[in-house]
Copies of this chain bind each other. A is one copy, B any other.
Amino acid sequence: MIIVLKPNITRRQENAVLKEIQKLGYEPHVMRGVARTVIGAIGDERTHASLETLTAWPQVESVMPVQKRYKLVSREAHPSSSTVKVSSNVILGARKFHVMAGPCSVESEKQLMATAKVVKQAGATVLRGGAFKPRTSPYEFQGLGEKGLKLLAKARQETGLPIVTELLSEQHVDLVAEYADILQIGTRNAQNFQLLIAAARTGKPVLLKRGLSMRIEEWLLAGEYILANENPNLIFCERGIRTFETYTRNTLDLSTIPIIKNESHCPIVIDPSQGCGRADLVMSLCKGAVAMGADGLLLEVHPNPAEAWSDGAQQLTFDHFTRLMREIKPFLAAAGRD
């Protein structure tokens, strides 16, 4: 930690800070600069009580951490890239690129089966579909629940595609883990730490969406909750952040691809459907994500988006999806992915 003292304080005030630093288990190291005195507090910032509370002292101007707060998710701790094995064919973070596609919500057997077949045929390797839906309003469709999970399992049986579906309640952990191959943690629960811990403990791969206004450091720390609970199967998923822009529903932050690759060893997939909320932008965003080195895509596909029970504006038609799978191929090749 670096503690910057205010100018014009007394020697006694300075000594009080030095004593507190020692009391909290650090070794202080004073540097007298031209305009400010700065104290370096030497010690492991993650094991000692935090010095940040010194900010509350009148003689302290600011306290700046030096160490990164995340450990297990960091590339520093694990220099080679990790892979997450979902099934024998689906290993995220390896050379093969993966497209996870399916409807926003599971609505009916007919809707799901039709979609599963089309996405498989077009080249998707994972089926997505929501059985429990977090909805802004209590009056909106909340998902088919267990019935939806059963339909997903049936679709998996018919197509061989593993399933990713959202877990949104600690009460559902056992139920959802019984059916899902990947547990998705949604943006609204990205800092629901009890849910993260419960998801981690299932041992299943966890796809952790970025929270609506989560800084990258916070996202990495939320991921740390998974690894610190002994589940190494973490997949980051960027899905857009909330900004002042209103043309799109969210602002998809594609710079997270190189950033997560720099800071962490875990794979990252991109969700452009949520990221922009408009089907007409999805194609272009997918090409960008591929070119920038994402490990996969998460896409919403629906037989008839205009009649979808949730988020119709951002779901792709079968034709659109099939064309998209074809059009991203040259970019996959350019990026050295299969």
Contact = CB atoms under 8 A, between A and B. Distances in A.
Band of interface residues on A: 35 or more
Most buried by B among A224, A244, A262: A244
A56 to B, nearest CB: 4
A64 B136 contact: no
A67 B35 contact: yes
Contacts of A45: 35
A91 interface: no
Contacts of A217: 247
Contact of A56 (B138, B171, B313): B313
Contacts of A34: 42-44
Interface string A1-43: 0101001000000000000100000000101111110101011
Interface string A280-301: 1101110111111100000000
A58 to B, nearest CB: 9
A296 to B, nearest CB: 16
Interface of A: 2, 4, 7, 20, 29, 31-36, 38, 40, 42-47, 49-50, 52-57, 64, 66-67, 69-71, 76, 134-140, 168-171, 188-189, 191-195, 211-213, 215-218, 221-222, 224-225, 228-229, 241-248, 251-255, 257-259, 262, 275-276, 278-281, 283-285, 287-293, 305-309, 312-315, 330-331, 333-335
A41 to B, nearest CB: 8
Contact of A284 (B168, B213, B216, B293): B293
Contact of A137 (B49, B221, B248): B221
Nearest to A280: B262
A212 to B, nearest CB: 5
Nearest to A169: B194
14 contacts: A36-B67, A38-B40, A50-B140, A52-B312, A52-B313, A69-B137, A138-B193, A168-B194, A170-B171, A170-B194, A211-B212, A213-B213, A258-B284, A291-B291
A314 to B, nearest CB: 8
Contacts of A224: 137-139
A251 B217 CA distance: 15
Nearest to A289: B288
A287 B292 contact: yes
B258 A285 contact: yes
Contacts of A252: 254-255
A279 B56 CA distance: 7
Given A255-B252, A308-B53, A330-B333, A31 B42 contact: yes
A215 B246 contact: yes
A123 B71 CA distance: 41
A306 B56 contact: yes
Contact of A38 (B36, B66, B279): B66
A193 B170 contact: no
A189 B194 CA distance: 11
Given A134-B193, A213-B213, A35 B31 contact: no
Contacts of A280: 258, 262
A47 to B, nearest CB: 8
